[in-house]
Amino acid sequence: MFCSNCGTKRQENDRFCTNCGQAFATEEQASQQSASQPIHSNGANQSTNTSKKKIFIGIGSVAVIALIIYFAFFRTTFANTPTGAVEGFVHSLNEADFEQMKTYIHPEEGAHVLEEMDAEFGNGFEELMFSMVDFELSNLEEEIDGEYATVYATMAMTTSFFNDEEAQEIEVELMLHNGKWLITYLF
């Protein structure tokens, strides 16, 4: 017979392990325990289960922390306000995320916005713009009238190629569409 805690060989009449001090069950206790659960020949299974739990808790903790970091630093979201929609649109331009930029434009009323940008900057403007130009908004003010809004802002455009900055006043019209503020016109 062996100690269930440390695996040391023991005598049949021993009440405690001479190595680790583990109390041994009497014959009556042993028969009751064997009816409810098996007795392990050593503590390896018990320590393995504890180790597995610690590993799962550790992996779970790392996953939660990674999600928090992702949403806090890498997944930028903007408030569902007219100003938030304009900021999101400009952020998408700066991040070269053309698909995300489209999510800030009204599907019917704002279709011409992309056409106007293409006319202003030429075919394939997104590749050109994203690689050479950085936009920055300032002095944002919004006016809301029911489901329509206008955002006034100063937009600075910095070109990395010429290291030149140009700022102009812009006016952005938006419309509430399915509960989300979307751009209908930029000028």
DSSP string, 107-136: TTTTHHHHHHHHHHH-TTHHHHHHHHEEEE
**pLDDT the model gives residue 33:** 53
Task: Please state the rounded mean pLDDT for residues 159-167.
Answer: 71
pTM tops 0.85, yes or no: no
Any idea which of 49-53, 90-94, 97-101, 119-123 has the lowest mean pLDDT?
119-123
**pLDDT the model gives residue 148:** 94
Q: What are phi and psi of 44, to 5 degrees?
A: -60, -45
Is the pLDDT higher at 126 or at 8?
8
Task: Please state the rounded mean pLDDT for residues 117-126.
Answer: 58
* Residue with tokens 């569409």, as numbered in its chain: 177
Which domains does the chain carry?
82-186 (3.10.450.100)
Tell me: pLDDT of 75 over 60.
no
**pLDDT the model gives residue 125:** 54
Tell me: pLDDT of 123 over 60.
no
For the stretch 18-71, pLDDT in tens is 888 888 776 555 555 555 555 444 555 556 677 777 888 888 888 888 777 655
In eight-state DSSP terms, residue 25 is P
